[in-house]
Structure 1
Amino acid sequence: MLRQSPHSNCVFSCLKKNGGPLFERERESVPCKYSAQSIRAIPIRIVTVGKKRGAGIQLLVEEYKDKIQHYCTIDDLLIKSNPKNTSNVQAQIEAEDMGVFQQLRSEDWVVVLDEHGTDLRSEQMANLVGDAGRTGSSRLLFCIGGPYGHGPQVRRRANMTIKLSSMVLNHQIALVVLLEQLYRAWTIIKGQKYHH
């Protein structure tokens, strides 16, 4: 389905589910910009599977959350990796999958981060954030998986799957990169001088 933002000349082809690119830019040379009044900001939650964060990572997480709070409410939740302390990889994936799935609400717009997901440019991430308010969803929820990725329940529930890199990232690094990109997305949406 082709969609055009009323506040830009960007045209995107949006796919409903996983399995293909989220946005295919029809006119690559036109940057996507929003006016400050053009979106409905919805709360963001980031659910991460992993171990306790290091102090340095936590400082960066709090710094970016504070910056994003100027635009929308944001919180993050850490789900313990391998909660049953099993050596069985499949059992670990299922336990982590259940922990994340229990945090999802029916009205969430769910974005799963995965190394095989769609690669987005920063402007496309801004569109994702801006368009989330138009979906009728009450919250934009990002899922960062554990060491073996996401389980089947979370993958099926995802509205879209994206990647931050073709390389595998530690969950703590992935969280910081995601937060920085969310902050960058908001500065793009607001036309502020952070993204060049």
Structure 2
Amino acid sequence: MGTAVHLCATFNSTSCNPSQGRKCKYVGQSVKALPIRVLSVGKKRSRGLQLMVDEYVDKLKYYCSVEDVQIRPNPRNARDQRAQVDDEDAAVMNLIRSDDWVVMLDEHGLDLGSEQMAELVGDAGNTGASRLSFCIGGPYGHGRNLRERANLSIKLSSLVLNHQIALLVLMEQLYRSWTILRGQKYHH
């Protein structure tokens, strides 16, 4: 938990505030590229969304291995929201290893800019973890077990985003993070 506290302190500071003209602390440095896994609870994706996600996965493979994992919402067709969240929580937790660095996407999480997201990716490589896992919840959010297990909770926007839009924004920001870390021009 000490590392999580350190990361929170880093993100709440102004050390990487683009408005001050400062660059991400890792620019020009060698960064350990942890494999990235994105766990997303949700219904079948539209073909258009899947094509865009696949495009970012291909771009990210230049920097690190990426796995896009879809988890079916409400796997046991529970009738009430609490049971549905509990079932989704169990499905997500079954896919997380003890040595994963887990980032939960949540509307109440830390509000990061792109430079800070790049620092998150860079910092994760220094945690001793073997994989960086991002978790996008279903329609009723995350369960208690994931909330307790997550090393960090972030939000992608002050707006509430549906899981498909959140996935696309996350993939784009992960690609942007690596271009920042490598000091490269961002290509659309």
TM-score using structure 1 length: 0.87
Give, in angstroms, the shift of residue 16 of structure 1.
Answer: 5.4
Give, in angstroms, the shift of residue 37 of structure 1.
Answer: 4.6
Report the Cα distance in structure 2 between the residues aligned to 1:98 and 1:111, rounded to whole angstroms: 17
Aligned partner (choices 174, 177, 180) of residue 172 of structure 2? 180
Give, in angstroms, the shift of residue 130 of structure 1.
Answer: 0.8
Number of paired residues? Answer: 181
Give, in angstroms, the shift of residue 87 of structure 1.
Answer: 2.1
Report the Cα distance in structure 1 between the residues aligned to 2:171 and 2:95, rounded to whole angstroms: 19
Greater CA deviation, 81-90 or 49-58?
A: 81-90
Which residue identity does 1:161 align to in structure 2? S
**Correspondence for 2:150:** 158
Give, in angstroms, the shift of residue 80 of structure 1.
Answer: 0.4
**Correspondence for 2:12:** 24
Q: Is the 8 A contact 1:109 1:140 kept in 2?
A: yes
Which residue identity does 1:165 align to in structure 2? S
Report the Cα distance in structure 2 between the residues aligned to 1:37 and 1:121, rounded to whole angstroms: 20
Percent of aligned positions that are identical? 59
Partner SS for 1:23: helix
**Unpaired stretches in structure 2, ≥5 consecutive residues:** none
Give, in angstroms, the shift of residue 85 of structure 1.
Answer: 1.3
Q: Is the 8 A contact 2:24 2:115 kept in 1?
A: yes
- Cα-Cα RMSD: 1.9
Which residue identity does 2:126 align to in structure 1? R
Please give the per-residue CA displacement for 1:89-122, whole angstroms capped at 9, x wherever unaligned.
Answer: 1100000000001001000000000001000000
Using CA pairs under 8 Å that are at least 6 residues apart, name the structure with larger relative contact order, 1 or 2.
Answer: 2
Following TM superposition, the consecutive aligned residue runs of length 4 or more in structure 1 with deviations greater than 6 angstroms are none
Q: Going by fraction, where is helix more abundant, 1 or 2?
A: 2
Report the Cα distance in structure 2 between the residues aligned to 1:69 and 1:107, rounded to whole angstroms: 21
Q: Is the 8 A contact 2:41 2:137 kept in 1?
A: yes
**Correspondence for 2:36:** 44
**Unpaired stretches in structure 1, ≥5 consecutive residues:** 4-13
Q: Is the 8 A contact 1:16 1:160 kept in 2?
A: no
> Is structure 2 residue 45 aligned with structure 1 residue 53?
yes
Report the Cα distance in structure 1 between the residues aligned to 2:143 and 2:37, rounded to whole angstroms: 19
1:6-17 counterparts in 2 under 5 A? 15=5
